[in-house]
Structure 1
Amino acid sequence: MKIVALVAFLVLALIYYFIRLGGLAIAYIADGGFAGIAIGIGMLLLPTVGVWIVWTTLQAALAHQHLARRIHDEGLEVDTSQLPHRPSGRIERAAADALFAQIKTEWEADPDNWRSSYRLARAYDYAGDRTRARETMRRAVALEKLEREA
């Protein structure tokens, strides 16, 4: 609940910032000079891009949370409790690599199942490959959506 409140506060702060920035941009454009119009248009782009980033990030977070809830309810979470951890809390590299190899084998047996893609995304994350973790999580979200719609 604390995280939801924090995210809500940050989104509201960004909305306030975007409104203020938009107002300043319009004032620059209304000034009528070439430089003012150029700066105003540039300033209008910032809130537009910012709204898009916030929207897509929140959509992705909600979709990932939905999958995490379903995986938890089905008892298919990746169990890392028995793996050795560093003082920072991250899984030891060799253990993360072994876990990744095991889960990748499971995924190769059923690559079109969102559950195996979700587990593989988590394994990529534990192994430290955030780029592939994000790509694979997007695939899991798409596959789960297809399953729900079918």
Structure 2
Amino acid sequence: MSARIGVAVMAVLLLVYIVLVGQRAWLLLISGEPIGVAMGAALVVLPIVAAWALGRELWFGFRAEQLGRRLEAEDALPADDVAVRPSGRVMRADGDAVFPAYKAEVEASPESWRAWYRLALAYDAAGDRKRARAAVRTAITLEGRERRGSR
């Protein structure tokens, strides 16, 4: 739940930023001064990029959570006994120990979004957030293909 609160706070702060920069851009655009108009035009780009990035990250989080809930409903989430810190994070050594099994599962069935999602959890447990996000993106793509194929 604290992650959702953090996301909500960051999203609200980014929206405030978008509004304030957009307002400043508008004031510069209507100033009539050539430099002000040029700066205003440049500032219009920032809120557009920020809104796109916010939307993309929120959609990623929504889809990742959907897949996690779906795996949980199928009782297909990893059930490895691993030691965790008081914060709930997996101890890195334990995460590294279970990682090879999930990597082998992806290598055995590279078109399985479930295998990719479990690999993402293993990457995250091993402390490799960049690869975890990439694996979740792959899982999202494969699940989307599976869903479109079953129509």
TM-score band w.r.t. shorter chain: 0.7 to 0.9
Q: How big is the shift at 1:7?
A: 4.5
Q: How big is the shift at 1:56?
A: 0.3
Give the corresponding residue for 1:115.
Answer: 114
Residue 55 of structure 2 aligns with an amino acid whose one-letter code is W
Q: How big is the shift at 1:17?
A: 3.6
Report the RMSD for the aligned CA atoms in angstroms. 2.3
Q: How has the CA–CA distance of structure 1 residues 114 and 54 changed in structure 2, closer, same or farther, with 3 Å as cutoff?
A: same
Counterpart CA distance in 1 for 2:85 and 2:4 is 29
SS at match of 2:30: helix
Count of residue correspondences: 149
Give the corresponding residue for 1:38.
Answer: 38
Give the corresponding residue for 2:70.
Answer: 70
Per-residue deviation, residues 129-148 of structure 1 (Å, max 9, x unmatched): 11111111111001101111
In the superposition, the TM-score normalised over structure 1's length comes to 0.86
The answer (yes or no) to whether the contact 2:91–2:125 under 8 Å persists in 1 is no
In the superposition, the TM-score normalised over structure 2's length comes to 0.85
Give the corresponding residue for 2:56.
Answer: 56
Residue 127 of structure 2 aligns with an amino acid whose one-letter code is G
Q: Where does the alignment leave 5 or more consecutive residues of structure 1 unmatched?
A: none
Give the corresponding residue for 1:145.
Answer: 144
Q: How big is the shift at 1:14?
A: 3.5
Counterpart CA distance in 2 for 1:18 and 1:128 is 32
Residue 123 of structure 2 aligns with an amino acid whose one-letter code is Y
Q: How big is the shift at 1:47?
A: 0.8
Give the corresponding residue for 1:129.
Answer: 128
Give the corresponding residue for 1:79.
Answer: 79
Residue 75 of structure 2 aligns with an amino acid whose one-letter code is G
Residue 49 of structure 2 aligns with an amino acid whose one-letter code is V
Indicate the percent of aligned positions where both proteins have the same amino acid: 38
**Pairing 1:94-113 to 2, within 5 Å after superposition:** 94-113=93-112
Q: How big is the shift at 1:11?
A: 3.6
Give the corresponding residue for 1:22.
Answer: 22
Counterpart CA distance in 2 for 1:92 and 1:2 is 20
